[in-house]
């Protein structure tokens, strides 16, 4: 990854008010079956976790956040979600950074932060 790269975080949830309300309810009532571990790790019931927001300010590459419907419409990919991608900002090409199967194994926000930090450090971007 170089200065022409960014990270794209893709949630396994669709955008929109009614989808948001359904997601909040699902996350609160049935957290074990909530389909977006990225959302569960980085957001509380109603907003982004402060610790996550502060972590994001330390990441050098540009960050993009997308919902499933936006991502599939723009990139025409049916990858398992949630996922995090590296995007070449010149060509817009995406490459997996942290795939859904890996995100599903994480049990806390610290795990996610460490994984992102380690991968970015290897790339010389943190």
User: Residue 1 pLDDT more than 60?
Assistant: no
Identify the pLDDT of residue 16. 60
Q: Which residue has the tokens 């010149």?
A: 90
For the chain, report the end-to-end CA distance as a whole number of angstroms: 11
pLDDT tens track for 89-115: 889 899 999 999 999 999 899 999 999
pTM of the model: 0.81
Average pLDDT on 4-33 reads: 69
Question: 43 has which bridge partners?
Answer: 48
Percent of all residues in the chain with a pLDDT value above 70, rounded to a whole number? 77
What's the rounded Cα separation, in Å, for the pair 101 and 99?
Answer: 6
User: Residue 21 pLDDT more than 80?
Assistant: no
What's the rounded Cα separation, in Å, for the pair 33 and 50?
Answer: 24
45 and 28 Cβ atoms separated by less than 8 Å = yes
């Amino acid at each position: 990854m170089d200065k022409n790269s960014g990270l794209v975080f893709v949630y396994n949830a669709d955008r929109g008010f009614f989808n948001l309300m359904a997601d909040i309810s699902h996350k609160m009532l049935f957290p074990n079956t909530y389909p977006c571990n990225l959302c569960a790790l980085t957001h509380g019931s109603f907003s982004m976790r402060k610790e996550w927001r502060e972590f994001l300010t330390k990441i050098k590459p540009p960050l993009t956040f997308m919902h499933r419907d936006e991502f599939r419409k723009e990139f025409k990919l049916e990858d398992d979600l949630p996922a995090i991608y590296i995007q070449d900002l010149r060509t817009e090409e995406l490459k997996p950074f942290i795939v859904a199967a890996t995100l599903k194994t994480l049990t806390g926000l610290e795990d996610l932060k460490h994984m992102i930090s380690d991968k970015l450090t290897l790339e010389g971007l943190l």
